[in-house]
Amino acid sequence: MKNISRRSFLKTAASAATVSIAAPVVLPRSWVALAGAEKPGYFEREFGITDSLCQKVLAEALSKGGDFADLYFEHTISNSLSLEDGKVNRAYSDVSLGVGIRTVKDDQVGYGFTQEMTVESMLNAASTAATIASAKATKPAGKFEWLKTKNYYPLQKLLTSVPLESKLPLVQTANDKCFALSSQVVKVNAGFYDQQKRILVVTSDGIKAEDLQPRNYLYASVTAEKDGRRERAGWNIGGRRDFSFYTQATVDEIAKMAVDRTLVLFEAVQAPAGEMPVVLGPGVTAVLLHEAIGHGMEADFNRKKLSTYSTMIGRQVAEPFVTIIDDGTMPNYLGSINVDDEGTPGQKTVLVDKGILTSYMYDKISARHYKVKSSGNGRRESYQHYVQPRMRNTIMLAGPATPKDVIQNVTKGIYVQDVSNGQVKIGEGDFAFYVSQGKMIENGKITAPIKDMNIMGNGPKMLQNITMLASDFEMNQGGSGACGKGGQAVPCGFGQPTCLVKSMTVGGVKR
């Protein structure tokens, strides 16, 4: 193999990244080829990761026994460009390269990783992983077969071949558009982020899987001033997108949303406090579905009896019009994956089918415990992290009502457009979220914008209290978010229609 140290590689790669800010860089041929035309074997071509080497490392990982082992190679290139008031104030590139080695015995995990792509370093990391077991050596598969996967985020060209000169006009235009939309805008931060992650998963049972995962987003954050008072808000759009996605229309939408969301805060009033109906708007408010409900359906929490749902498979957890799906196959969305980080193909998992809890989200360890197949939810932040069951795109399907019908069913309540700064207790499902954008509902009509309030409740109870779903399903279009669990952050998507929860606690002002 090519014995390349991380220090030598990063020195070369960082040099290339610095030059790319000033001029196009000549990159390795496989970096600039059309993604759809690439053949498997990137890590062998670029870093000499051969089957014989993988067998040797896996043999060391299983040298003291174990149920199975796997290797997770990663090469990630990230770029960020930001402007403040029309001037470039930050532009950088980051390169990450390494391999994580896992040995599994029952539900216990031994893990080692290295940033040095040398035989010695990989064998040392494998030896560390092997210490979880203390039995006779287990042999890995004698040969590996490439896993066939679909591509849910095809690229016309690799993000590493897009020069700064092509990104800067997008950011500059977003900046200028925000200032042009209102004289009250006094400050704008705009930027573009892109990431290109390549992974190779090699398992002791003979599977090899590669993936090229793009991630990017364009954003604008706006500060406005009126009568000596300042307010701030922002917006971003992105996902696993080709660079061609970012058109003038996308820029215009980001700028308008950022400015509108800021200016409306000048008109906002404080919401009343107490128990009342809450209508969650379509799209971005599904972060509550993700945080307050979705985590409780991840299989590790249920295997360890930490989740309210641990004894609920086959039981009714919501009204019959409620169906919840975790889907890794939605093209170009943030949580989509062609293959998970254990070598299982991306797929769709129905969690709640017409009100009945039908499945958890499984990684391989949890699947073995429940004697089912992995649902393709084994994910990790990077090669430095072990696998956990994690969400992909978690969605609640549309219902039979119209959005107008939902609003008209509320005499006094609040309409939530966006939330942030949430806290959730996974086991119990208790949560609290800050409402960053919302409005009052009075006598079946949306009225004044509101601010400075929280909504609180219990996830399983909230699911039971959903009494209406509208037909206006939307996915969150953002690309900047990441879900945290066990000290790891991974990109996830979420979506839902307008949704009526008959009662939640609103932390506003007593009237």
Q: Rounded to 5 degrees, what angle do the CA atoms 429, 435, 440 make?
A: 115
CA distance 353 to 316: 9
Write the CA distances from 426 to 78, 302, 308, 345, 486, integer angstroms.
31, 10, 9, 27, 12
Query: Under CATH, what is the fold of the domain 6-264?
Result: PmbA/TldD fold (3.30.2290)
Give yes or no for residue 19 having a pLDDT over 90. Answer: no
What is the mean predicted confidence (pLDDT) over 73-100?
93
> Does residue 476 contact residue 375 with C-beta atoms inside 8 Å?
no
Mean pLDDT of the chain: 91
What are the tens digits of pLDDT across the range 445-476? 999 999 889 999 999 999 999 999 999 999 99
Cβ neighbours for 12, distance < 8 A, ≥ 6 positions apart: none
Instruction: Tell me, yes or no, if the pTM score tops 0.75.
Output: yes
> Which of the residue ranges 96-100, 143-147, 203-207, 505-509 would you say has the lowest mean pLDDT?
505-509
Q: Outline where 332-465 has alpha helix (H).
A: 364-370, 403-408, 459-464
Residues of the chain with CATH 3.30.2290.10: 6-264
Q: Which of 187-191, 329-333, 352-356, 477-481 has the lowest mean pLDDT?
A: 477-481
- Please report the pLDDT score of residue 8 as a whole number: 41
Q: What is the pLDDT of residue 18?
A: 32
* Residue bearing the bigger pLDDT, 189 or 17: 189
Q: Which tens digit of pLDDT belongs to each residue from 99-108?
A: 999 999 999 9
Q: What is the secondary structure of 9-73 as a DSSP string?
A: HHHHHHHHHHHHTTS-----HHHHS-GGGPPS-HHHHHH---HHHHHHHHHHHTBTB-SEEEEEE
The CB density around residue 369, as the number of other CB atoms within 10 Å, is 16
Closest CA relative to residue 66, chosen from 137, 150, 142: 137
Residue 510 binned pLDDT confidence (cut-offs 50, 70, 90): low
Greatest C-alpha distance within the chain: 76
CA 404 – CA 392 distance, rounded (Å): 30
pLDDT given at position 466 = 97
One-letter amino acid identity for 227? Answer: D
**Residues for the chain: how many in total?**
511
Give the pLDDT of residue 160: 87
Name 52's Cβ contacts closer than 8 Å, sequence gap at least 6. none
Please state whether beta strands 483-485 and 488-490 pair in parallel, antiparallel, or not at all (unpaired). antiparallel
C-beta atoms surrounding 282 within 10 Å: 21
Residues forming beta bridges with residue 200, ordered by sequence position: 73, 210
Q: Left (φ > 0), alpha (ψ -120 to 50) or beta: where does 487 sit? A: left
What spatial distance separates the first Cα and last Cα of the chain, rounded to whole Å?
72
* Local confidence band at 80 (pLDDT 50, 70, 90 cut-offs): very high
Cα–Cα distances in angstroms (integers) from residue 455 to residues 314, 400, 439, in the given order: 30, 26, 13
